[in-house]
């Protein structure tokens, strides 16, 4: 069984400030990890993913995340928030042995204050 916990259902940052969205996972095997973004009334779009190899992964729109096995974490960061980053962010995990079933976290709504 696998699960994802996102700490903070709502995060507010000032424009230009660091964005940090937290994600911890639980999995019996080394997982595949994803961050998706959802803008209002739209579908989800992949920001970045970790499968194997380098633990620091870079994604679109200046976001990056680091896989830390010892902490079972996959936190999402961006050095400088932009107004256009305001959206809902979902962390997700899948099992490499049978990854049709993706488990999503409960989501974090990011508000960017001008």
46 contact partners, CB below 8 Å, separation of at least 6 = 34, 35, 36, 59, 60
Closest CB 84 distance from other proteins, rounded Å? 17
Residue with tokens 């936190």: 75
Chain residues in the site for other proteins (CB under 8 A): 32, 34, 36, 41-46, 49, 51, 90, 94, 96, 98-102, 104-107
Closest CB 49 distance from other proteins, rounded Å? 6
Closest CB 73 distance from other proteins, rounded Å? 19
18 contact partners, CB below 8 Å, separation of at least 6 = 77, 78, 79, 80, 81
Looking at beta carbons only, is 73 or 94 nearer to other proteins? 94
């Amino acid at each position: 069984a696998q699960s994802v916990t996102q700490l903070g259902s709502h995060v507010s940052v000032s424009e230009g400030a660091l964005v940090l969205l937290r994600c911890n996972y639980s999995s019996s095997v080394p997982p595949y990890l994803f961050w998706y973004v959802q803008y209002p009334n739209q579908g989800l779009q992949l920001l970045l993913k970790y499968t194997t190899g380098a633990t620091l992964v870079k994604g679109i729109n200046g976001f990056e995340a680091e896989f830390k096995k010892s902490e079972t974490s996959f936190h999402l960061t961006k050095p400088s928030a932009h107004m256009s980053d305001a959206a809902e962010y979902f962390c997700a995990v899948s099992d490499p042995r049978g990854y049709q079933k993706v488990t999503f976290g409960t989501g974090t709504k990011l508000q960017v204050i001008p």
